[in-house]
């Protein structure tokens, strides 16, 4: 089955003492030789907040024909809008449907690709077969509103999962160039909220621009805290401890400084439900919102149940993970 769109970005970027995988070349850097997906360091991870507090729930599903009955167990569900999914037709009062949108890159499959001026295309992302867009182009925010956000808003989407927010680093190689790209991203976010004040925006990373726009953001996500997916090699990988520590530091800043929910999207083989459950538990113990799914995001993964699901079952969110039926 074809996975619509791209799955969350990624390129290796320098972070502190080492490299951290950002959602464009691979979702997570390979762990130690022989490491299995879901493997973790022996020492306990530091929490970035209280794991006993009720957590919101989220799922991401990028396949065709999203299984609404299963996904309705979550408060928020991100879908690939090019799959033809109609959020306005759903009778799911407890679930809000968000559209996946790529800000920093575009693929040839997108309807608006041919309308993007060619001089706005800066670099290629060969792993995802996509092209990096110049965020500093003066007309880019208006273009993005017209060709991406406005059509989705008209279809009934009221929330957007903003991906590829750090892809500019594939093309911007100096501090000045990176600053221009970041300013462009800020302009895009502000343009969306100016036109659609009620839009809810979930960032995939975008750490560098949060100081300027955190008040416009609904939540912040990142990938691969414990278990990741290597797109180039098509395999599940353990996340190195140094990468995890860096991400936890980012999460702590986001929660303590900005008061925003932080989501960790991890990856396990869909046949290995124990890996998914264990990873969800470790993410929750770190004080974050968990979601664990397959590398293509085409199965219903495991997370915490939504508020309606909890109420119907008279359970707390920590009692039973929401998930697809077990194989």
Domain boundaries, the chain: 12-33+53-313
pTM for the whole thing?
0.82
Q: Report the C-alpha gap between 204 and 237 in whole angstroms.
A: 20
Give the pLDDT of residue 323.
Answer: 53
Which of 34-48, 121-135, 209-223 has the highest average model confidence (pLDDT)? Answer: 209-223
Give the pLDDT of residue 27.
Answer: 33
Give the pLDDT of residue 290.
Answer: 97
Q: In the predicted model, what is the mean pLDDT of residues 64-70?
A: 95
Give the pLDDT of residue 308.
Answer: 73
More confident residue, 26 or 173: 173
Query: Which phi-psi region, left, alpha or beta, contains residue 35 (left: φ > 0; alpha: ψ -120 to 50)?
Result: beta
pLDDT above 70 as % of the chain: 77
Token pair in block for residue 91: 């009778």
DSSP 101: E
Give the pLDDT of residue 111.
Answer: 94
pLDDT-based confidence at residue 298 (cuts at 50, 70, 90): very high
Q: Which sign, positive or negative, has the C-alpha torsion 152, 157, 162, 164?
A: negative
pLDDT-based confidence at residue 305 (cuts at 50, 70, 90): confident
**pLDDT digit string, tens, across residues 3-20:** 333 334 333 333 333 322
Q: Report the C-alpha gap between 257 and 297 in whole angstroms.
A: 31
Q: Are 268 and 227 in contact (CB under 8 A)?
A: yes
By mean pLDDT, which of 79-88, 152-161, 306-315 is the weakest? 306-315
Q: In the predicted model, what is the mean pLDDT of residues 164-193?
A: 97
Q: Are 136 and 182 in contact (CB under 8 A)?
A: no
Q: Report the C-alpha gap between 151 and 193 in whole angstroms.
A: 15
Architecture (CATH level 2) of domain 12-33+53-313:
Alpha-Beta Barrel (3.20)
> C-alpha dihedral over 137, 139, 142, 148, to 10 degrees?
-60
Residue 262 parent element (H or E):
strand 262-267
Q: Which of 8, 9, 30 is nearest to 19 (CA)?
A: 30
Q: In the predicted model, what is the mean pLDDT of residues 163-191?
A: 97
Q: Which of 16, 45, 21 is nearest to 267 (CA)?
A: 21
Q: Which of 309, 242, 324 is nearest to 54 (CA)?
A: 309
Q: Report the C-alpha gap between 202 and 189 in whole angstroms.
A: 11
Taking 90 as the threshold, does the pLDDT of residue 97 lie above it?
Answer: yes
Kindly report the number of other CB atoms within 10 A of residue 198's CB atom: 8
Taking 60 as the threshold, does the pLDDT of residue 275 lie above it?
Answer: yes
């Amino acid at each position: 089955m074809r996975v619509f769109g791209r799955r969350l970005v990624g390129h290796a970027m320098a972070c502190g003492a080492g490299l951290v995988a950002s959602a464009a070349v691979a979702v997570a850097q390979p762990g130690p030789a022989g490491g299995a997906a879901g493997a973790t360091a022996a020492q306990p991870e530091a929490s970035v907040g209280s794991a006993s507090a009720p957590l919101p729930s989220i799922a991401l599903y990028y396949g065709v024909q999203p299984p609404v009955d299963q996904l309705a167990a979550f408060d928020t569900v991100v879908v690939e809008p090019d799959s033809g999914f109609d959020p306005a037709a759903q009778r799911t009062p407890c679930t809000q449907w968000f559209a996946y949108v790529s800000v920093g890159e575009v693929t040839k499959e997108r309807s608006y690709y041919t309308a993007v001026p060619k001089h706005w295309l800066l670099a290629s992302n060969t792993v995802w077969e996509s092209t990096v867009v110049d965020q500093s182009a003066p007309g880019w925010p208006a273009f993005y509103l017209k060709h991406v956000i406005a059509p989705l808003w008209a279809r009934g989407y009221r929330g957007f999962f903003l991906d590829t927010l750090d892809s500019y680093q594939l093309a911007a190689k100096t501090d000045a160039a990176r600053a221009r790209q970041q300013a462009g991203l800020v302009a895009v976010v502000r343009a969306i909220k100016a036109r659609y004040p009620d839009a809810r925006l979930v960032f995939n990373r975008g750490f560098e621009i949060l100081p300027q726009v955190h008040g416009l953001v609904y939540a912040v996500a990142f990938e691969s805290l414990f278990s990741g997916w290597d797109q180039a090699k098509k395999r599940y990988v353990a996340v190195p401890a140094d990468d995890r520590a860096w991400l936890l530091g980012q999460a702590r800043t986001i929660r303590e400084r900005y008061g925003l929910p932080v989501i960790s999207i991890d990856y396990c083989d869909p046949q290995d439900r124990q890996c998914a459950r264990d990873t969800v538990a470790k993410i929750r113990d770190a004080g974050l919102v968990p979601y664990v799914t397959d590398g293509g995001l085409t199965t219903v993964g495991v997370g915490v149940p939504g508020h309606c699901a909890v109420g119907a079952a008279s359970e707390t969110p920590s009692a039973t993970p929401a998930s697809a039926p077990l194989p």
